[in-house]
Structure 1
Amino acid sequence: MTKYLSTIEIPSSIVTPIDSAVRFPEILEQSYARYEADIAFFHELIRTSTSSAELLDRIRSPKVHKDTRMSLLKMFRRCVAPVIDTEMSKKITKVTTKELVNSYGATFKPIEKLQEQFSNLRPGDFETLAALVGEYDTRGQSGYALTEQFFDWFEAEMPDELSITGPRRAGRDVELSSVFADFVGGYPCDFVIRAGDDVLAVGFARYDATRGGAQSDDRTGGNWAKVEKARQYCQNTGRSFRIIFLSDGPGLTHNDTWREACDIDGEWDGRVRVTTLKLAPTRVTLRWLYGWPETSAEKSEVGEVIDLLAKASE
């Protein structure tokens, strides 16, 4: 089975640039406009608290709106206790403040020092704090944009007999057990392609602005596990469907991530394809989705697209 991805000489030529990040110094003004009220509230809580433990307790009060509380917890982590994970501290009904203080209180910056520092901050310092709090505000936006653009392309180019379902942007994954009643275990997909009631393919979308190291290792093993789990299910039930890895972004071109994409592309007797948004028209074809043999013309077209993308990047 030909692995088309491995024939691409310049991987960056097939990447779709999706820019969702705010640049410096624009991020200072935008973040401050968003978090100004929360920062003022945090400053007031510092001024009127008698200890850093009390400050945390007041932040985690159920009376504080959950969105405001999350902002305050991020500030607490940045300014008082970096060891306090916001994903843990936000669970105010499951994790008590006393438990957090007993476990990590020794690392808290003293309230007296906080009060002194905040009373001497310059106006620009609050903008910096806002930028730190909002550092990950755009996280995931590129992935949402990738999925939405793929849905738009699919619905515009594919015949009406085919449908694509799943969260177009943010939303709950589609569990394969909700598609096939006899599927056992977790298998969250980003989208499902059908012809009427027949499932033709399941897909996973990922936009990596950067990728490497342990994160890439985790992704590599996870994708192979998805393929193997689907293969075993189809072997046991007689069902048949295809797997699409919609992988895009500069992180795809990192050595280990790229090698894994090339290796997994074309696996399971050609039922697995890795594609970027640019390659979708020649990789996610009607003929492939239905499992019909490809014509020599279609194979040539893929090669021509790859050559054109490579030349465009030179």
Structure 2
Amino acid sequence: MVYDCIIVGGGIAGLQAAIQLGRYQHKVLVLDEGKGRSSICHCYHNLLGWPDGVSGEKLRGLGREHALRLGVEFKGERVEMVEGLDGQFCVTTAKSHEFFGRKLLLATGIKDNIPSFEGLLPCLGKSIFVCPDCDGYEILNKKALVIGSGNAGASMVLTLTYWTDKLTFINHGKGEIDADLVEKLAGKGIKLVTSAIAEIHTDFSDFKGLTLASGEKIDCCYAFLAFGGNKPNTELALQLGVELEDNKHVLVDPRTKMTSVENVWAAGDITVHSEQAAIAMGDGIQAAIWIHKSLLES
């Protein structure tokens, strides 16, 4: 079987594209191992229609159900190789299964640099956050910690001063902080802690604070992570020779979302945008529209 389009990645962008392509009645396959960043975010707070927030798990579940109704197929497999072959694409999974498609959409997202503290993951999106644009409002006038490293952590703290001045930066990663950032932190009255963290304290999704390696305990209900080093999942794009931006995200046509390689599109956080779920949805549907146009011409 040759699919009209194979979508690699079943997160927000991939699912929205699958829904749109399904509505065009194209034969679509989504390959996703279920480990994208939307699978670990337990609450999106800034999406239209969800004033009380919605989890990535719920969004993904609803999106998958919607796509299945439209005839979209899903395989829970990790893709290891993609290659052009006789005017089509051959996609090989870790289980050595091969799938063939006329068009290819990469929606593989990025991998966040998240420390492996016990109890941290259930708090993501609830009381521990990674994106100030998404969740800065959640700490409005509240006490919060920034757990990070070096300039990435310092910059996060300064960004968050828009919402609160009750901030402490814990330079857990021991990264070097530029002198001008240190001066700005001091000017904002932000406490800088240089001791590493021994453990964090949580009650399921509620962050309760942490204990430093020095033995000091800090009580707090909210924290942001800022270690830098988030990694776009561009391995498959590179296999195809897709052009990347300087920041290693995939370069796409702003109108069509096609990459530098013909018949290969990209959508979502793997591309250059503000890494917002709503933008990922828009990317997905925009890519799908142009994939549909291309299928009509081929």
Is TM-score (shorter-chain normalized) higher than 0.5?
no
TM-score normalised over the length of structure 1: 0.28
Say which one has the larger Rg: 1
More strand by share: 2
Please state which structure has a larger fraction of its residues in helix. Answer: 1
